[in-house]
Amino acid sequence: MQKYLWNGQRGLFVDYDFVQQAQSSYDYVTTFFPLWAGVATRNRHRRSFSIFPLSNNPAALVMSPRESGGQWDFPLCLGAQSAHCRRGFAKYGFNKEADRVSYKFLSTVAENFRRDGTIREKYNAVKRSSETR
């Protein structure tokens, strides 16, 4: 992971395209997964928090910082990714960030459940809504 996924110049863990043998330039929430996996250092994630600010979106941690039209992209947030990030943040002592991700995501789920009686796979993190395209 350190060899292929860490981008020291950008200060992020990134996705890697094994076919092209190149790192992705697209920022994605998976940058935090090395924390969950326990293979990162605490200092390496300071830049990640500036790219994925946890306080900017009303509902939760978004999948990516910009909209590309992809199915799993801004402005969406998903439960599994939120849970993995929350666990990783807590594991490395980012407790404020872990609590923020948990509270924002779970309160969005609860709010939408009260409204329509369902729990969804994904939510719009900007609108705090289960209405997604």
pLDDT in tens, 40-91: 887 777 777 777 776 677 777 899 888 888 888 899 999 999 999 999 999 9
CB 64 within 8 A of CB 78: no
Question: How many whole angstroms separate alpha carbon 32 and alpha carbon 43?
Answer: 12
Q: Is 117 left (phi over 0), alpha (psi -120 to 50) or beta?
A: left
Check if the beta carbon of residue 105 is closer than 8 Å to that of residue 85.
no
Task: Read off the pTM.
Answer: 0.86
Q: Exposed (0-12), middle (13-18) or buried (19+): which is 85, by Cβ within 10 Å?
A: buried
Ranges of each domain in the chain? 2-124
Quote the tokens at residue 17: 């395209």
The pLDDT score that the predictor gives to residue 102 is 93
28-32, 51-55, 99-103: segment of lowest average pLDDT: 51-55
Which of 29, 94, 103 minimizes the C-alpha distance to 60?
A: 103
User: Residue 36 — very low, low, confident or very high, per pLDDT cuts 50/70/90?
Assistant: very high
